[in-house]
Amino acid sequence: MTESNRRSGEYEYGAPQGTAHEGTYPQHGTYPQPGAHAQPGAYAQQHSYTAPSPVNPEWPPPPPYEPPTAVAAGPVPGPEPKKKRTRGPIALLAAVAIVAAAVGGATAYAFQELTGTDTAVTAGATTNVVPSSKQGNVAAIAAAVSPSVVEVKATLSNGSSTGSGVIITSDGEIVTNNHVISGSDSIRVRTSDGKSYPAEVVGTDSSKDLALLKLQGASGLKTASLGDSAGVQVGDTVVAIGSPEGLTGTVTSGIVSALNRDVTVPTSESQGQGRGDGQWPFQFGGRQFNGDTGSSTTTYKAIQTDASLNPGNSGGALIDASGNVIGINSAMYASSQQSSSSSDAGSIGLGFAIPINTVKSDLAKLRAGSGS
Indicate which residues carry an active-site annotation. Answer: 179, 209, 314
For residues 19-58, one letter each, b for 16 or more C-beta atoms within 10 angstroms of the residue's C-beta and e for the rest, the string is eeeeeeeeeeeebbeeeeebeeeebeeeeeeeeeeeebbb
- How far is residue 86's CA from residue 245's CA, in Å, rounded to a whole number? 65
Asked if 127 and 104 count as a contact pair (C-beta separation under 8 A), the reply is yes
Question: Residue 328 pairs with which residues in a beta bridge?
Answer: 317, 354
Distance CA 81, CA 36 (A): 61
E strands in 141-218: 149-156, 159-167, 173-176, 184-190, 196-205, 210-215
Between CA 261 and CA 81 the distance in angstroms is 68
CA torsion angle 117 122 128 129 (round to 10): 40
Which string of DSSP letters, residue by residue, matches 91-127?
HHHHHHHHHHHHHTHHHHHHHHHHTT------SS---
Contact 276, 319 (CB under 8 A): no
Interatomic CA distance for residues 162 and 347, integer angstroms: 18
Under 8 Å between Cβ of 242 and 307: no
